[in-house]
Amino acid sequence: MQQDLITQARTWLAEDPDPETRDELAKLIDAEDLDALAARFAGTLQFGTAGLRGELGAGPMRMNRSVVIRAAAGLAAYLKAKGQTDGTVVIGYDARYKSADFARDTAAVMTGAGLRAAVLPRPLPTPVLAYAIRHLGAVAGVEVTASHNPPRDNGYKVYLGDGSQIVPPADGEIADAIAAVGPLAGVDRPESGWEILGDEVLDAYLARTDAVLDAGSPRTAQVVYTAMHGVGTSVLTAAFARAGFPEPVLVAEQAEPDPAFPTVAFPNPEEPGAMDLAFATARRAHPDIVIANDPDADRCAVAVPDPSADGGWRMLRGDEVGALLAAHLVARGATGVFAESIVSSSLLGRIAEKAGNGYEETLTGFKWIARVDGLRYGYEEALGYCVDPDGVRDKDGITAALLVAELASVLKEQGRTLLDLLDDIAVEHGLHATDQLSVRVEDLSVIADAMRRLREAPPTALAGLAVTSAEDLSEGTEQLPPTDGLRYHLEGARVIVRPSGTEPKLKCYLEVVVPVGSADDLPTARAKGAELLAGITRDLSAAAGI
């Protein structure tokens, strides 16, 4: 077993094109560090949410140039097998470690396979890549990004020609094509031949952002903005300038791309402490709202002044922003289908139904939301919003930020705030209180054990609320294809439990609905909602053994 592992590592080392990972692997081999080698050669990275994502390093279980070259060769083979023998593949990348290298390798492989490779001119937001696919009539797109993952990670997100992320069976077929790739020496990778695009695509994307705003709407909201050390600053500030908003006040420490993400433990606005610098800036600048993008700027976080919050600012939940944007679009007369994933608040369905719009639930991920027929607006509780599906069929943190700023401006003209509108929505539709129990693990077996416990002994009540029905989503439903998850319907509540598709986490999504008679009832309703959510969290943790 030891010799097999060493032999496997030496074989990988012999064809690794990257001096950094070659050096890393050679040291592990020389030291006979079997634990480290086993971690890198225990299998291969598998396609998950739209592609690959993992820790940087040597070996098939890490993100590196060898893995990316194989992924690109597999994608090229898949496209050619589908008859796309000379189409364009657009390639974008963020500012993480190795992202530019991975983009260049992908372009070389596509060119060697006879496809036309077009690379975005510099690190840009993921939504620009998603837009570019349809704008250029490409057959596929690749974005090199790990989104909001830790600094040590990178990823490889694949889109097809409709501009949306891959779903089954395409993901499995691409994975099979990757597995069929032989030695890297057999993958043609010319030194040149691909196109580096100019700013024309970015300019076209920015021109498109104007379409999300209502002509003549007020543009007065003052915004503090953080790019979270990612690539959003230049594009968002350009979009705000085009739209006529005041120039955002930047969180200077986080405005420029930095793959080390030095000021945050995790570059995700939802993580504790990630917004501390933004709130400090807001306390100095006194804006109407704070807006944050994640590092590849496809997610949008919003915070509002709140005297009752610690530090005077409160992050809105993704479900709250989702409802606010839905209400704003309805007020503007938007028609079509409103869609969300099953882990998001059921409030969207009530808003859509009252407005006479269609409504649809999908599996988790924008790869599903973007495919809804007649989509007008889609959102997911993890800070993802699609407000212009004709332009970007994916979540887009830039256009979402514009729409939030427009809504804040409209309310500002009325002497009101986003919190006032949330109160109105709760009175009209009931208070929909949501929370998430998220457990990050080092050992993935912890997640498997928790799911097994819940399947073998499902809870009959949570926080004193009877479980009225339970669904094992791995078996699929009439509306949803199979996925690893559990859904519990309770009297006035709902719980969904699922492993994360992008991080080593078990995620539990909780919602309680409390009727509200009038605005005077809101404090009592909120207290009851918080109490029920805390009870559900406690009882679910015990049932899952986490």
- Outline where DSSP puts E strands in 294-401: 300-305, 313-315, 337-341, 358-362, 375-380, 384-386
Provide the CA 192 distance to its chain's centre, in angstroms.
32
Exactly one of 147, 344, 345, 409 is catalytic; which is it?
147
The Cα–Cα gap between 414 and 289 comes to 16
CA nearest neighbour of 318 among 464, 148, 487, 454: 148
Q: What is the 3-state secondary structure (H, E, C) of 313-346?
A: EEECCHHHHHHHHHHHHHHCCCCCEEEEECCCCC
CA nearest neighbour of 364 among 343, 384, 383: 343
Using the Cα atoms of residue 128, residue 131, residue 137 and residue 143 in order, give the sign of their dihedral: positive
- Outline where DSSP puts E strands in 70-162: 88-93, 116-119, 140-144, 153-160
Half-sphere exposure of 51 (CA within 13 A, CB side): 27
Helix locations, 414-483, DSSP H: 418-429, 445-456
Angle in degrees, 0-180, between the axes of helices 318-331 and 347-355, rounded to the nearest 10: 0
Q: What is the Cα gyration radius of the chain?
A: 24
Helix locations, 16-55, DSSP H: 19-30, 34-41
Place of tokens 């509540």: 493
The Cα–Cα gap between 126 and 366 comes to 13
What is the SS3 assignment for 2?
A: helix
The Cα–Cα gap between 371 and 373 comes to 6
Q: Distances in Å between the alpha carbon of 173 and those of 74, 177, 440, 474?
A: 9, 6, 30, 21
Half-sphere exposure of 90 (CA within 13 A, CB side): 30
124 close to 96: Cβ distance less than 8 angstroms: no
Is 147 an active-site residue? yes
Using the Cα atoms of residue 451, residue 452, residue 453 and residue 456 in order, give the sign of their dihedral: positive
Structural tokens at position 462: 């949570």
Q: Peptide bond before 169: cis, by omega within 30 degrees of 0? A: yes
Write out the catalytic residue numbers: 147
